[in-house]
Structure 1
Amino acid sequence: MTTSRRQRRPVVVLYERIADAIHRGVWPPGSTLPSEPRLAAELGVSRPALREALLLLQEDGLLSVRRGVGRTVNDAPPRRGYEQLQPLEQLLGSGAPLRVRPVARAEEEPTDFSTQHLHAPAGTELRFWESVLVAEGVAAALSQEWAAPDGVLEAAHPAFARALREPAAPEGSMLAVLAEASREVALTAHSGVTATLLGQRRGEELGRAADTPAVLVTQVVRAGDVPVMAAKHMLPTGSPALPVLQSN
């Protein structure tokens, strides 16, 4: 995994932009993408770069070409590895999962991020967990996780709501608790990846300089159509590689 978009080929960044739009439903399954000239203009890219990215998307099973129609989004486009419902401490661990060190287990007013993704009304308090993921004694990632309001969880995923109320705080992440509580509940997830810098506070938590390059992974998990958890994961340069291979 690279730490900065400037270090990646433009076609890779373009591939991710289009794939992310497909998974967000901008172009839903069965829809037809705009023509190459129009799509290149909308994305602000050259047609050769766009054509190469579209070919890669076809190879990876997100798009198909239909004669006389154009490029269409497949009915069941495969999702990337970081969209699998696997706790980050397991996804990043090579062999053994990373250790989760709790930093905060609290209730707080919604942030702009949690309000946007969990549709939390103003004044609502959300369960908030912040954790440092440790690999061989070294801080490898900082996770911030929010659960939907209690009333929403009680209606959409009561088993998750009960698990969060347990008096003893689990050693794992909130996503690990959600996965354990969801054996009979169908979950879906959507993630995004962007390049950034750690910043002062996150740098202090991870023992790194504020200007350390990092990758920010955001994730929203739904039970049915209801978002029940949202998370931010900050991975500074040098962290274990995040798998982003296509999977069925």
Structure 2
Amino acid sequence: MAVSGSASDPQRRPVVVLYERIADAIHDGTYPPGSTLPSEPRLATELGVSRPALREALLLLQEDGLLTVRRGVGRTVNDQPPRRGFEQIQPLEEQLSAGGAPLRVRALLRTVEEPTDFTTQHLHAPARAELRFWESLLTGDGAAALSQEWAAADDVLERAHPAFAGALRTAGSAERISMLAVLAGASRGVPLTAHSGVTATSLGQRRGAQLDRPADTPAVLITQVVRAGDIPIMAAKHMLPTGAPALSVVQSG
């Protein structure tokens, strides 16, 4: 069975493009968990690539835990292949649901607004730019968190990836999905990176009312900026009050 793939970006290393084509085939079920990949000569022919490039891509897939080499069998797809790097940027509702009951996204507000100090700083938005703003309540098993997300202007989104602006326009009235979930879903082949800040605070009057908690309830405020390459495409504030599901924090050095 041949692996399909879109035209590659000429500025990206062929091995990286090849890695992503095979990883896509694994994640979309072309090569399901437990299946064995074709032999190197056959796979190289199907993909129209050199064997050295294919071998390097396969080694990277093994290192990342998508494939395992079995003596006498060949390369097999792992039963639970991990997500690739850019897919590991998860929407807050998915992170908070890890190991527990799924959280539901309920839209509080879906609108367009001019830049604030926060979005000017993190999205470099010029004055009078039109930025999508989504405010959502994340609920499950009595726990709740509040999420506020701003997208960069459409021309910036389209420069980062042609699919981003259209995906947000299509999902503009969706009430059960977060902005990051939409962007992550549209990011196919475009690595996303992010950085976050964590601050101890209290809910305050407005957020307390939204979460039906006292204004002085202790909370963690997470600020997040997501980039496609060097272009910031989304900025967010997430408020997790006492009693919200635990959020894992990983430090890299």
- Report TM bin, short chain: 0.5 to 0.7
User: Which 5+ residue runs of structure 1 have no aligned equivalent?
Assistant: 1-83
State the distance in 1 between where 2:222 and 2:196 align: 7
One-letter identity of the residue aligned with 1:143: S
TM-score where L is the length of structure 2: 0.62
State the distance in 1 between where 2:143 and 2:162 align: 33
State yes or no: 1:169 paired with 2:182: no
State yes or no: 1:158 paired with 2:152: no
The aligned residue for residue 134 of structure 2 is: 129
Q: Does the 8 A contact of 1:132 with 1:139 survive in 2? A: no
1:168 Cα offset (Å): 5.7
1:233 Cα offset (Å): 0.1
Match of 1:149 among 141, 149, 153: 153
State the distance in 2 between where 1:167 and 1:216 align: 26
Give the secondary structure class of the aligned counterpart of 1:233: strand
The aligned residue for residue 196 of structure 2 is: 191
One-letter identity of the residue aligned with 1:215: V
Q: Does the 8 A contact of 1:221 with 1:227 survive in 2? A: yes
The aligned residue for residue 112 of structure 2 is: 107
1:139 Cα offset (Å): 4.7
Match of 1:236 among 234, 241, 249: 241
User: Which 5+ residue runs of structure 2 have no aligned equivalent?
Assistant: 1-87
Greater displacement, 138-147 / 219-228: 138-147
The aligned residue for residue 10 of structure 1 is: none
Structure 2 CA distance for partners of 1:198 and 1:175, relative to 1, 3 Å: same
1:140 Cα offset (Å): 1.3
State the distance in 1 between where 2:191 and 2:239 align: 27
State the distance in 2 between where 1:246 and 1:223 align: 21
1:186 Cα offset (Å): 1.1
Structure 2 CA distance for partners of 1:124 and 1:118, relative to 1, 3 Å: same
Greater RCO (CA < 8 Å, at least 6 residues apart): 1
Q: Give the percent of matched residue pairs that are identical in Structure 1 and Structure 2.
A: 73
Deviation digits for residues 76-105 of structure 1 (CA, Å, limit 9, x no counterpart): xxxxxxxx5101101001344310010001
State the distance in 2 between where 1:169 and 1:119 align: 26
1:125 Cα offset (Å): 1.5
State the distance in 1 between where 2:192 and 2:172 align: 25
State the distance in 2 between where 1:176 and 1:169 align: 14
TM-score where L is the length of structure 1: 0.63
1:246 Cα offset (Å): 4.9
Give the secondary structure class of the aligned counterpart of 2:244: coil
Structure 2 CA distance for partners of 1:96 and 1:139, relative to 1, 3 Å: closer
The aligned residue for residue 88 of structure 1 is: 92
Match of 1:226 among 207, 231, 236: 231
The aligned residue for residue 76 of structure 2 is: none
The aligned residue for residue 81 of structure 1 is: none
Which structure has the bigger radius of gyration?
2
The aligned residue for residue 178 of structure 1 is: 183
The aligned residue for residue 201 of structure 1 is: 206
Greater displacement, 237-246 / 199-208: 237-246
One-letter identity of the residue aligned with 2:228: A
One-letter identity of the residue aligned with 1:181: A
Structure 2 CA distance for partners of 1:237 and 1:181, relative to 1, 3 Å: same
